[in-house]
Structure 1
């Protein structure tokens, strides 16, 4: 989902996020290689924050509340 949200952000704004460094998610090694940059960018933009203090859980399903929060953050960023 992080990759789709970041691509939607790019499509609407045309602005790439300045990726400094992905937070130290304990499970960062389980993020698919093709999604690492999008996850880092979405995190840098404040679109996603992971679960808990230090987990991203990339192989888990996103629940309805999490989806709503992510979409709300995306719309806020786009409409600034």
Structure 2
């Protein structure tokens, strides 16, 4: 997101916003502390959506299809495709 410039477009990058974004997922507390800020940024940018409306599954394996969808959304949101 930094390389594509998408991170700079996000508004209100405070810790309070990070907590609010993550608290809507019941398993957000399972995410590693070092990843929470980037996870919240990705959610706010619309790159990540979670496994469903209430779970992020931060400790689960990610599939190739999920990676492909994330990369596609990153490029689309960054106006690169």
Q: Which TM-score band (shorter chain)?
A: 0.7 to 0.9
Rg larger in 1 or in 2?
2
- Runs of 4+ more than 2 Å apart: 16-21
Q: For residues 32 and 45 of structure 1, what CA distance do their matches in structure 2 show?
A: 20
Please tell me the root mean square deviation across aligned C-alpha atoms, in Å: 1.7
Structure 2 portions without partners, runs of 5+: none
Count of aligned pairs: 72
Match of 2:3 in 1: 11
**Gapped runs of 5+ residues in structure 1?**
1-8
Structure-2 separation of matches of 1:52 and 1:16: 26
Could you state the TM-score of these two structures normalised by the residue count of structure 2? 0.78
